[in-house]
Amino acid sequence: MHTRRKFIKIGALGLGATALTTGAANWVVGAAGKPTKSSSNEPLGWRRVPTYCEVCFWKCAGWSYVTPEGKIQKIIGNDDDPQCNGRLCPRGTGGVGMYSDPDRLKTPLMRVTKNGEQTYREASWEEALDFIAGKMKEIAAKHGPESMALFNHGSPGKYFTHLLNAFGSNNVAAPSFAQCRGPRDTGFELTFGESVSSPEVTDIRDTRCLVLIGSHIGENMHNGQVQEMSEAIDKGAVIITVDPRLSTAASKSKFWLPIKPSTDLALLLAWIHVLIDDDLYNKQYVAQYAEGFNELKEHVRDFTPEWAYGITTIKPELIRHTAREMANAAPSVIIHPGRHTTWYGDDVQRSRAIAILNGILGAWGNRGGIFFKEGIKIPDFPRPEYPKPAWSWQDTLNGRYPFAKEAITNTIIEASIPKPGMEHLIKGWIVAGTNLVVSIPLKEQLMQAMQSLDLLVVVDTMPMEITGYADVVLPECTYLERYDDLRATAHREPTIALRMPAVQPMYQTKPAWWISKQIGERLGLGAYYNYKDFKEVLEWQLKQVGSSLEEMERIGLKKYPRKTPVYIESGAAYKFKTASGKIQLKSSELQAAGFDAMPVYTPHPQPEDGFYRLIYGRAPMHTFSRTANNRNLVALMPENSVWVNPQVAELWGLRKDQHVWLKNQSGVVSNFSVKVRITERIRWDSVYIVHGFGHHHKPLTYAFGRGVNDTELISRVATDPIMGGTGMRGNFVTFVKTEPKKEAKI
């Protein structure tokens, strides 16, 4: 196949060298920021600049401390921020490494063909932006503006969403929907009318019983969740963890249920059965706020703990006992919805079961359960109405995934591959802040799509794998070097937080708002960018909400009083956001669309002899693949390892720290080898890997070749028919002890 877009192994192209010398002078000149107070321990002459973290989506507000020489020494949490309470997580504290990473993208890069080989050359911003605008106009002329799509994660997304919306396209997708939280959002929406949002509205700090289904809070380092779980432990809350692996949370649980992987739905149904059968559910709550109870009772009649025992290997007494614990704690109980819920393809149904459990225990709207969030709505800076697109991503679904409320990355990828008789074709992508090559399964489809595009623009701070496929690579500056939208998280208390630059952008990097504006103006969309500088936008917005840039620069974060109750007042009437205003224990919507109205357990494929289920997760010192090059964080964890049960290790003759390659059920072999960790924490039928390593892009000079990439081993995907989530836990691996023959790798 003629590869129009070859992966460019940049290697040591020596790019950015000139940029280093010209751009370096810029960042020494400090940006505005108040001198440190004597109470903050820093010697005089230091500056303390407000920001909010960008390493993960929790966006903890904090302060950058800048030395008189202009170096960002450390980042500390903002004491007033309820998201972090003055304490950043290790990734936030290590955020300085994102700024000082020597491998950062430094200048715009453009794809050229030199001597028949495709490579990149440095370009000026003028050239790169002109090129992009020109291509976008071409695409719009030939296929319509709807033919431009955006894949995004994090802050930069907002500006490119605005750009595409103004251009005339709604095709904006975040991998976090179909590859991560989509199923739980859909499952909860179908039950309660709304989901648990980001950051999650779980009242962990006041709960008396926290049930984690595969959720590994503590290794998953969402700051507020970990902080609140710690508070809950102090208060004596019961934690019940369901996980085939002894996660950190499981090690702090009163009950750890070492469940057979893929059978969680059976356990959940058995719990519902016990709660109803033994009359332990929250009768008053269900009577007042829920409907479909009798159908549910009939549905779970046969889902006894004994039945579940045979499937899950969890003893019936334990199932009953833990159900009782939940009932005792109700309504201050949380069956945690989890976050990354794309497991086996029936994930919406599993999330429904979790939602139903929360519903019959009365957790939603009660202290210690799920609280109601409130936030401040920041008005949009004045702009004309967006044009109405002729079609959008829903039109590419062709009747599939009827309950997807957000765009599905995979269908947009699919819609980028031309097929005869295709109505809606996508020809151009902007990828901002997400490393698609590592986050999207179904790699062949992704590769084919990228080859068929007329334009692929990647906006990133680091030379991640996705940059090797771009036509134009635009270097974004890190969060420590720019102004950004106000953070207006909705949570227990409405807050707004300011992000302002601690230092000038390094090299030739630019903030996303500037990139978006520059492209927009070249496309004739200047009316949508009626400001010279993002500070203007912030000043205007802050004035609308009763504050000012000057105030926010001083305090960093501002709290507002709540106007709505945080819980349902005891016994008061409450209308849920469902069609009927009541909790849908039975989902007539699902039934109408031809799906199970209530969850049903279906067995999932099991590994054959010699293969082990590939389970992946997080480590608290890393965020996906984006921190694998951050020198401060790799000092904590330079690579991942494959967790192997000692019995399995003995079977295979594996020794501690031995390097092996992994081969999956379809014959895919990992690019690099991985260290073996022999541990009792993992079940004998599975292996566990922390996601985000095994980078194969050489410009990531530290991360290249370290550890193994689990995504490349995820070749079998179970797509959830309800909303398109890509279930990725149905892949099995075996060990290859000697280096495999090098096959042609992309």
Distance in angstroms (rounded) separating the CA atoms of residues 203 and 585: 22
* Among 279, 289, 401, 284, CA closest to 356: 289
Residue type, 562: R
Residues 6+ apart with CB under 8 A from 472: 108, 109, 110, 111, 123, 128, 131, 132, 455, 456, 457, 458
Smallest distance, other proteins to C-beta of residue 647, A: 8
Smallest distance, other proteins to C-beta of residue 464, A: 22
Q: Which is nearer to other proteins, 218 or 494 (CB)?
A: 218
Distance in angstroms (rounded) separating the CA atoms of residues 69 and 67: 5
Smallest distance, other proteins to C-beta of residue 633, A: 7
Smallest distance, other proteins to C-beta of residue 662, A: 21
Smallest distance, other proteins to C-beta of residue 72, A: 9
Smallest distance, other proteins to C-beta of residue 74, A: 4
Asked if residue 199 has a cis previous peptide bond (ω within 30° of 0), the answer is yes
Q: Which is nearer to other proteins, 581 or 638 (CB)?
A: 638
Q: Which is nearer to other proteins, 53 or 440 (CB)?
A: 53
Smallest distance, other proteins to C-beta of residue 684, A: 7
Q: Which is nearer to other proteins, 233 or 593 (CB)?
A: 233
Instruction: Judge whether 155 and 485 are in contact, CB under 8 Å.
Output: yes
Distance in angstroms (rounded) separating the CA atoms of residues 503 and 508: 14
Q: Which is nearer to other proteins, 234 or 279 (CB)?
A: 234
Q: Which is nearer to other proteins, 87 or 158 (CB)?
A: 87
Smallest distance, other proteins to C-beta of residue 599, A: 26
Q: Which is nearer to other proteins, 485 or 685 (CB)?
A: 685
> In the structure encoding, which two tokens stand for residue 405, read together?
């409320």
Residues 6+ apart with CB under 8 A from 363: 330, 331, 332, 333, 334, 335, 369, 370
> In the structure encoding, which two tokens stand for residue 526, read together?
């200047």
Give the other-Cβ count within 10 Å of 245's Cβ.
Answer: 23
Q: Which is nearer to other proteins, 93 or 584 (CB)?
A: 93
Q: Which is nearer to other proteins, 41 or 564 (CB)?
A: 41
Smallest distance, other proteins to C-beta of residue 453, A: 39
Q: Which is nearer to other proteins, 129 or 682 (CB)?
A: 682
Residue 676: phi and psi, rounded to 5, are -95, 130
Q: Which is nearer to other proteins, 683 or 716 (CB)?
A: 683
CA angle at 254 for the pair 248 and 256, rounded to the nearest 5°: 60
113: buried, middle or exposed (CB in 10 Å: 19+, 13-18, 0-12)?
Answer: exposed
The DSSP symbol for 675 reads: E
* Among 354, 312, 352, 351, CA closest to 333: 354
Q: Which is nearer to other proteins, 258 or 605 (CB)?
A: 258
Smallest distance, other proteins to C-beta of residue 45, A: 16
Helix (H) or strand (E) holding 172: strand 172-173
4: buried, middle or exposed (CB in 10 Å: 19+, 13-18, 0-12)?
Answer: exposed
Give me the residues that bind other proteins (CB under 8 A), please: 39, 41, 73-77, 84, 86-90, 93-94, 96, 218-219, 221, 223, 226-227, 229-231, 233-234, 246, 248-249, 251-252, 256, 258, 620-621, 631-638, 645-646, 677-684
Helix (H) or strand (E) holding 334: strand 333-336
Smallest distance, other proteins to C-beta of residue 252, A: 7
> In the structure encoding, which two tokens stand for residue 297, read together?
């009772």
Smallest distance, other proteins to C-beta of residue 231, A: 8
Instruction: Judge whether 153 and 174 are in contact, CB under 8 Å.
Output: yes
Smallest distance, other proteins to C-beta of residue 485, A: 25
Rounded to a whole number of angstroms, the distance between the first and last alpha carbons of the chain is: 13
Q: Which is nearer to other proteins, 224 or 305 (CB)?
A: 224
Instruction: Judge whether 88 and 94 are in contact, CB under 8 Å.
Output: no
Q: Which is nearer to other proteins, 235 or 405 (CB)?
A: 235
Smallest distance, other proteins to C-beta of residue 91, A: 8
Give Rg (Cα) of the chain: 26
How many CA atoms are closer than 13 Å to the CA of 321, on its beta-carbon side?
A: 12
Q: Which is nearer to other proteins, 96 or 473 (CB)?
A: 96
DSSP labels, 47-110 = EEEEEE--SSTT--EEEEEE-TTS-EEEEEE-TT-TTTTT---HHHHTTHHHHH-TT---S-EE
Smallest distance, other proteins to C-beta of residue 640, A: 12
